[in-house]
Structure 1
Amino acid sequence: MNSVVVIGRVGQDPELKFFESGKSRASFSVAANRWDPKTQSEVTDWFNVDVWDRTAQFVGDYVKKGTLVAIEGRIASSKWKDQTGEERERFLIVANNVRLPGSRKDDGQ
C-alpha cells in the first residue's frame, strides 16, 4: 500500500496553477522534524507536495508559508531528461487531504 501522512510547516507560499482542462494544482513544500537517535538531535526532512482541484483551491485560499499542515496522500515519482540529456527523477507527495491542525478551516477531504 502506498500511503503517507506528514505533519509539518509549509516552506513557501503554494504555487497555484490553472489548466485549460479546468483542473487546478497547488504545489508547495513541507518541513517535518524528526528525532535522529544517531546524532541525538532533531532533523528536518523536506517534502514536495502537489494537490489537485478542490483541495488545491483550499490550499490556495488558506495555506501560506509557515502554516502547520497535516498531509495525507501517496508517494509518486516523476522522471525526465534535463538540458544535458541526463535522466532525472524526483519523488513527491500527491496529497488527497490537507488539514490545518488547530484551525477552524479544514479541507475535510
Structure 2
Amino acid sequence: MNSTVLVGRVGRDAEIRYFESGKVKANFSIAVNRWDAKTKSEVADWFNIDVWDKLAEFAGEYVKKGAQVVIDGRIAVNKWTDKASGNDRENFYILANSIRLLGSKRDIQEI
C-alpha cells in the first residue's frame, strides 16, 4: 500500500495554477523534522506537495509559509528524459488527498 502521513511546517506559500481544462493544481513544500543520531540533533527533510482541484483552491487560500500541517497522501513520481543530456530523470513528491492545518509559528508566538 502506498500511503504516507507527514506532519511539518510549510516552507513557502502554496503556488496555485489554473489549466485550460478547468483543473486546478497547487504546490508547496514542507519541512519534517527527524532525529539524527549521528549529529545528535534534529534535521529537516523537505517534501514537495501537490494537490488538485478543490483541495488546491483550499491550499492556495490557507496554506502559508510557517503553518504547521498534516498531509495525508501517497508518494508519486514524475519521469522524463532530460533533453540536454538524454538521461532519464525522475522526481518524487507527495500527492496529497487531505490537508489539516494545525497552526502557524505566529499563532504559537502569540500564546
Note whether the superposition's TM-score is higher than 0.5.
yes
Which residue of structure 1 aligns with residue 28 of structure 2? 28
C-alpha contact (below 8 Å) 2:69/2:103 kept by paired residues: no
Which residue of structure 2 aligns with residue 100 of structure 1? 101
Which residue of structure 2 aligns with residue 65 of structure 1? 65
Aligned residues: 103
TM-score, normalised by the number of residues in structure 2 = 0.87
2:77 and 2:90 map into 1 onto residues whose CA distance is 7
| One-letter amino acid of the structure 2 residue matched with residue 43 of structure 1 | V
Structure 2 residue 17 is matched with structure 1 residue 17: yes
Residue 54 of structure 2 aligns to a residue in which SS? helix
TM-score, normalised by the number of residues in structure 1 = 0.88
Poorly superposed stretches of 4+, deviation over 4 Å = none
Structure 1: where are the runs of 5+ without partners?
A: 104-109
Superposition CA RMSD, Å:
1.3
Structure 2: where are the runs of 5+ without partners?
A: 105-111
2:12 and 2:80 map into 1 onto residues whose CA distance is 24
2:103 and 2:79 map into 1 onto residues whose CA distance is 37
Which residue of structure 1 aligns with residue 107 of structure 2? none
Measured after TM superposition, the shift of residue 102 of structure 1 is: 4.6
Identity of aligned residues (%): 62
Structure number with higher helix proportion: 2
